[in-house]
Copies of this chain bind each other. A is one copy, B any other.
Amino acid sequence: MTEFNDKQTDILQTAEKLFAEEGFDGTSIRSIAKEAGVNIAMISYYFGSKEKLLEALIMYRTSGMKMQLETIFKEDLSPLEKVNRLVDLYISRINKNKCMYQIMHFELSTKKRIMNMESFMEVKKQNSEIFKKIIEEGQEQGIFTKNVNIALIPTTILGTLVHFRSNRLYYEKTMQLDTEETFESYVTNELTQHIKQTIKALLLHEN
């Protein structure tokens, strides 16, 4: 896990806020330095370019995930309890890292490649391997069906949540979730429950 000192953490959090508000192109090292109360030379010294700063931000936000997945894997819980914990973990990480996912989503959807995604994808791949081990454990115990595409389960968990957030305007209107509080409460309760129920049904239902 990459470690950052307090000053680096300040800079990363400031950059995240500005990238989300103004976009990557709309944010300068100068504006990050001003907002974080440091000088430009310090940012360059710690991170190099603005592109490298974005890479560091993504590593900062994803590197804790692996440890948490390993903790769930090792715990003395039933396979189904572990899956519920996995869903909670994925959801809480997206909820906490809303800004970063917005930046990354934008980044991944534009053709112009501004950053090196290699290190991020490597962490993500390691995470999906631990995820796979947890599901396989339940399959070996005869609890989960073997007829399932494990690699696509995180896609369904994250996709459902991200799609709900991206179409917030639509759900706000049709589900009367027009305050920040009712919307976030729906995510935490009904949406999380729907995702857990979906993944549970997929793993327990024999085809």
Residues of A within 8 A of B (CB): 21, 102, 105-106, 108-109, 111, 117, 121, 124-125, 128, 147-149, 151-152, 155-156, 158-164, 166-170, 173-175, 190-191, 193-195, 197-198, 200-202, 204-205, 207
Contacts and interface: CB of A to CB of B under 8 A. Distances in A.
A190 B152 contact: yes
Given A109-B106, A121-B173, A202-B201, A155 B166 contact: no
Copies in the complex: 2
At the interface, is chain A mostly helix, strand, loop or mixed?
Answer: helix
Contacts of A167: 108, 155
A105 B166 contact: yes
A24 B190 CA distance: 35
